[in-house]
Amino acid sequence: MKIIIFMHGILGDERTWPPAFQYLPADINAISYRMLGFGENGQNIPTEEFNTAIHAQELIQFCESLKQEKVSIVAWSYSCHVALLAVLQAPELFETIYLYDCIVPSYGLENDAESFKLFSKDLNKMMSPVIKALRTQEDDLIINAFVLACSELKIALSDQDSSIQAIKRTNAHTVSRLLTQSEPSKITPEMLEKLAVPCGIYWGENSRAIFTLASQALYKHLPEKFCLNNSGAIPNADHLLPEESPNLFIQHVLNN
C-alpha cells in the first residue's frame, strides 16, 4: 500500500487534511503530519526552532522512523519548501512529491527581475493588512486578515467550516512565526537539476501572484523527466482549495 504524508501550511496542523482522506484511492495509506511549532502548545516552541531547515530535518527523521522503503508527500503552501529541502537532502526516502501553491521566492524566481518584482509587490499587498492585524494582538483579526489575503473569493474566517476555524484559532501564533523565522534556505535551479524524485507541481488558476510565480518558477526549473504530466494550473481554484474543496484537489492531483 502506498504511504502518503500530508503536510499543512501556516494556520494548520494534523487536523487540516483528514477531511480529504475520504476521497483518496483505496490503495493509499494517508498520514496527516504536524510540523514542529504547530498545534496545541505549538506556541511554546522557541522561535528559533520554527524555520524551513528544522522542519525539513524533522520530516526526514519522521520518514526514517516509519521504516518504509519509500513514502510520498503532499505539501501545501509553506510546507512545499520544507518537502523540497527534505527530498534534496534524503532522496532515498521518497517516492513522489506533490506540491500545491509554493510561496518561497526561490527556485530561480529571484534571478528573474520582472517576476521577482511582481512577487515582491504582491507579497507587500498581501501582508500589509496582516501586519496591521498583528499589531492588535487579536487572534481572530490576525487569522481573518490572513485568510482574506489567501482567498481570491474573499472568503473570511467566519465563512469557513467551524472545524477549520477551530484549527486556525489553535494556530494563530504561526502567522507571526512566519514573519519572524530565519530566511528560508535557498533552493537554486542548480540544486533542482539534481532532483531525483518525481514531482508534481500545481497552483490554483485563481491563486494570487506570490503563489503562482513561485510555483511556476519551480515548474520551469524541474528536470523534465521528473516532472509529473498532470502538473500545472488547477482550473477555478485558489489557495484555499485543499480545505474548501478537498475532493477537487484530490481528484486533480492524485486521481489523474
Q: Please state the separation of Cα 84 from the chain's center in Å.
A: 11
Say whether 189 sits in a helix, a strand or coil: helix
Cα Rg of the chain (Å, integer): 17
Quote the domain boundaries for residue 63: 2-253
Please state the pTM of the whole predicted model.
0.96
Q: Write out pLDDT tens, residues 142-172.
A: 999 999 999 988 899 999 999 999 999 999 9
Can you tell me the distance from the alpha carbon of 187 to that of 165, in angstroms, rounded to the nearest whole number?
33
CATH (domain of 15): 3.40.50.1820
The total of structural domains in the chain comes to 1
Residues sharing a CB contact under 8 Å with residue 42, sequence separation 6 or more, in sequence order: 13, 36, 170, 171, 173, 174
Q: Write out pLDDT tens, residues 6-25.
A: 999 999 999 999 999 999 99
Say what angle helices 209-221 and 113-134 make with each other, to 10 degrees. 140
What is the model's pLDDT at position 68? Answer: 85
What is the model's pLDDT at position 102? Answer: 96
Q: Write out pLDDT tens, residues 31-90.
A: 999 999 999 999 999 999 999 999 999 999 999 999 988 999 999 999 999 999 999 999
Can you tell me the distance from the alpha carbon of 145 to that of 122, in angstroms, rounded to the nearest whole number?
15
What is the model's pLDDT at position 153? Answer: 81
pLDDT of 255 > 80? The answer is: no
What is the model's pLDDT at position 256? Answer: 58
Beta-carbon count within 10 A of 146 CB: 24
What is the model's pLDDT at position 154? Answer: 87
Average predicted confidence (pLDDT) for the chain: 95
The alpha-helical segments, DSSP class H, found in the chain are 52-66, 78-89, 113-134, 139-150, 162-170, 173-180, 189-192, 209-221, 241-244, 246-253
Nearest by Cα to 150 from 14, 56, 18, 10: 10
DSSP characters over 229-256: TT-EEETT--TTHHHH-HHHHHHHHT--
Residues sharing a CB contact under 8 Å with residue 203, sequence separation 6 or more, in sequence order: 100, 101, 102, 211, 212, 215, 216, 232, 233, 234
Q: Write out pLDDT tens, residues 89-125.
A: 999 999 999 999 999 889 999 999 999 999 999 999 9
Can you tell me the distance from the alpha carbon of 202 to that of 215, in angstroms, rounded to the nearest whole number?
7
C-alpha cell at 224: 523534465
pLDDT of 208 > 70? The answer is: yes
